[in-house]
Every structure is written in C-alpha cells, then in structure tokens.
Chain A
C-alpha cells in the first residue's frame, strides 16, 4: 500500500510530508522502540511504528531506508525531530492509537488491498 492509503485506517496526522508522499509504497511494517531492532530489519521501504518520539528514531529510520515513521500514542515530537525528518526527507505521521491497535488497523487495511 502507499503512504497515503495508510492515513485513514489509523487516522494519522501528517506532521512532515516527504516529496514522494502519494506514490511512496510501504512493503512491510516494523514496530519497535529499540534502535538495534530497527537496524536489524532487513527490509526496504518499511513503515516504522514506534512510541519513541526522538531525533534518534528519525535518524535510525533514515539510515536503514524506512519509507516513513508513524509515532503512536499521540506523542509530542521535539521540534528538532520534526526538522530532522524534513531535512532527511522522511515522512512523519502521528496517531493517537496505541502501538498494537495501530498495527492491527494497518494489518486489516493491507488485507483489504486488491
């Protein structure tokens, strides 16, 4: 599914919009709050679902080529994290859903895809 198709199921706010937002595809989802786990994720173009709202999470996502970061629990992000996402061209989304519920909602939406 594309990034834009993700918005509705989790009622995400778009905090930072990368240039290729509407076409960028998400091939898989990685849900973690551990940098090392994210780094181990061997996939490309994944969506990172996390409750860690920090600069480092954005940096980590960029380093391994994540398509976007979805911050759960409606966490507030530091300005520096927003700036970094903008600079690195990473789409940054936020949902008020908890991590598990967000993942389930994305899972359902993915199944309904043709």
Chain B
C-alpha cells in the first residue's frame, strides 16, 4: 500500500500546508448525510447502502449520534442471518468523530490512525452535521490542486522578475528570543535584494516580525511561511497552541497576556496583532483553544496605495 507522505508543515510545499491546515473539515465533508433511526432494520441499512452507493450509515435521531452501521456490520448480520434485527443491536456504538471546525489535516491523520472508512462530523453542539470519507478528501484535494496548478501556469506566462517569487518556511520555538525574528530578517533581505519599494518592504517586515514574535512569546511553537509573488507577499503563521481565548480582544491595542519578564525584553505591549493587521491589505485570523492559531496576512506589491 502506498504510504502517506510526511505532511508536517516544514516538509511540504506552502500551498499544500495552507490547504490541509487551513481548510476546515466543514468545507470538505458531505453535509446532511443519510441516517438511520435506532429501530430501523439491518435490511433497511442494506437497501440504503445499495441505493445510495455508500458503505457506512450513521445511526442518529435529531442530530444525536448513537452509532454507525458499516458494511462490515452488514456482512456480519448476513452471516448470522439477522437482517431483521434493529441496527441498534448490531451497529458499532463506539464511534470516533471529528468536528466541523477542525482542520483537514486532522481528518487525514485520523484516516492514518484508525482503520475506519468514514468519520461522522459533529458541530460545536455535538450534533451530527456531516460525514467525511477518503473520497471527500480526494475530491477536495484534486479540485484545489487544479486551481493551484492553473494559477501557477498562468503565472509562468507573466514576465516575472527572476528570483522574486519564492516560498519559504521557518520554525519558531517557544521563548526562543535568540532566533526569533530570523525569518523576518531573511524575507526583508530577499525583498531588498529585488529592489522593492521601501515602504512595501517595511509593511512586510512589520507584519512578519509582529507575527513571528507573537509565536515566540505566546505559542508553544509553530511555523511562519512566506509566499512571494510579483503580486503580493503572503505570510502564513501557524502554531500548535495554546490558542487565543478572545481573538477580538487580542486585536485590540494594548490588550496583552504577556508576562512581565517578556515585557522587560520590549515585547508584549499588546500591539502585535493590531500592528500586523494595520499594515496588511488582507488579514485573516483563526484560533481554537487547544488546537492553535493561524494568521494569514497579505501585502499587495502591486497596490496603488502604498503609503505608510
């Protein structure tokens, strides 16, 4: 069997990292799945699987999940000739589920970890809203891959300044002030070497540095990636937790949770995120406690408004 490649952020191309870590399961799953009531018969499960061409059906009532009937359960029912038994009796009741807001990377790792062919997907109220299979993931990946390749091919036709376009990924570690800022310095130097407008370079440097140092100060570590094209610089920072409790507050100037010793180093004044947002043309932040924080900041290189 083919082995899954190492999809850790430092070993994969940026667009792939962005796709699998930045896409929530909600966008990949099949919504409103076919379900069975607890009292339905195994024969009904068999009919549904045949008619709908599926291999597993969640047993759920009003969104509450009780179990799942897989094709294996069905084969077993046929072997012991119990097709008229209720699904409740023969279903798999210990079900591993995923949540809508989790990144696609989580689903991929679950398929590697468990031998199940599908996972029910729950919303934040723990109600069943979808189901995800390897097929759903394949379809999503192929579609996105087509978009990306189309985009790259279109880019090849433009007259690109040689060497400007790059993709780079750096790592940060918790409280590693010695190396923190390395990524920002490197990207700034790259832009300087390509004679970009000084004001644009400054915007990139500020956004990058604030986001990078945020990871060093607040997170348990993560990655900072840059995608430079003639059109824009895209900065993607992703950490592994602990996540921001109140994103809105974190975007307010002066709000800080930094410890005093960090403040004594000149950081943690509560200006980082607002500062990064201010200089960015597009700014997106998503955070989940226990999972981590993702920030995407884009600075246009071809925008007409380049003041500041």
Interface residues of A (CB under 8 A from B): 33-37, 39-40, 42, 44, 52, 54-57, 59-60, 62-65, 80, 88
Residues 148-177 of chain B, each 1 if its beta carbon lies under 8 Å from chain A, else 0: 000000000000000000000000000001
Cβ of B213 to closest chain A Cβ, rounded Å: 7
A39 and B210 in contact (CB under 8 A), knowing A56-B180, A63-B184?
yes
Residue ID in chain B nearest A60 by CB atoms: B209
Chain B residues, Cβ within 8 Å of A44? 198, 202
CB-based contact A39/B209 at 8 Å? yes
A32, B146: Cα distance in complex, Å: 49
A37 and B269 in contact (CB under 8 A), knowing A55-B178, A56-B180, A56-B181?
yes
CB-based contact B266/A55 at 8 Å? no
Interface residues of B (CB under 8 A from A): 177-178, 180-181, 184-185, 188, 198, 201-202, 205-206, 209-210, 213, 265-267, 269, 271-272, 275, 308
Select B266's contact among A33, A42, A62, beta carbons within 8 Å: A33
A25, B301: Cα distance in complex, Å: 28
Cβ of B283 to closest chain A Cβ, rounded Å: 16
Instruction: Pull 14 A–B residue pairs with CB atoms less than 8 Å apart, ordered by A.
Output: A34-B271, A36-B210, A36-B272, A37-B271, A40-B275, A44-B202, A54-B265, A56-B181, A63-B181, A63-B188, A63-B202, A64-B202, A64-B205, A88-B185
A94, B272: Cα distance in complex, Å: 28
A56 and B185 in contact (CB under 8 A), knowing A63-B209, A64-B202, A80-B178?
no
Residue ID in chain A nearest B178 by CB atoms: A55
CB-based contact B185/A36 at 8 Å? no
Using A35-B266, A60-B266, A63-B184 as known contacts, list a sample of 11 further A-B pairs with CB atoms less than 8 Å apart, ordered by residue number in A: A33-B266, A34-B266, A36-B271, A40-B271, A42-B308, A44-B198, A55-B178, A56-B213, A60-B181, A64-B202, A64-B206
